[in-house]
Homo-oligomer: A and B are copies of this chain.
Amino acid sequence: MPAQIEKESFAIIGRELEHRGICLPAEEEMVTKRVIHTTADFDYVKNLYYSEGAVEKLRKALREGACIVTDTQMAKAGINKKALGKYGGGVYCFMSDEDVAKEAKERGCTRAFVSMERAAALGKPLIFAIGNAPTALVSLYELMAKKCVEPAGIIGVPVGFVNVVEAKELILEKKEEVPCIVARGRKGGSNVAAAICNALLYGIQEKG
């Protein structure tokens, strides 16, 4: 029943895109459609930026067991852990750990920075799915510049009004180095981050 409703929803989204004269690139189609399914917001047709071959590269990383790092418990809750676990991956979120807050205070930096640093220290292939904190994207940029982390991919979709647009554009500077999917502009969110992760995962499953 839920599967049937989802199928019907995607058919409606497909028809409305067609009605608007929009033809999505085949590789990106299921990801963009799932974000629209999650938000009922067709603005994401324009907002979502994909670096070259991003979907294929991110799927390859997931298939090979990459883990996902989120910046909220909400995004973590929304990611299909069963689908991810099939390939050996798991989800990490350090943002609300008490000792992260403590360390950030002591060092005079943000919780997001400490969280990204902890993720980097895992020494695993990681996809960062950031739906809330622009500071997490800025921290990733800094850690990449210092060669402290080499992400398998970045899903950069924080939402908001302060430093959000800038942080997303900053990550786009790295688009040649790291596969990324970024929601340009103010929109995004933990739900969007989780939807993109799930669309990537379900795309692997469909290929069997």
Contacts and interface: CB of A to CB of B under 8 A. Distances in A.
B161 A38 contact: no
A163 B9 CA distance: 10
Copies of this chain held together in the complex: 2
Nearest to A163: B5
Interface string A6-34: 00110011000000000000000000000
A107 to B, nearest CB: 13
A5 B74 contact: no
A160 B77 contact: no
Interface in A128-184: 159-164
Nearest to A187: B40
Given A77-B77, A189-B38, A12 B161 contact: yes
A162 B5 CA distance: 7
Nearest to A131: B191
- Size bin of chain A's contact surface: 20 to 34
Contacts of A9: 160-162
A37 interface: yes
A22 to B, nearest CB: 16
Contact of A40 (B37, B38, B110, B161): B161
Nearest to A164: B40
Given A12-B162, A161-B13, A74 B190 contact: yes
Contact of A8 (B13, B41, B161): B161
A12 B41 CA distance: 22
Interface in A174-208: 185-191, 194
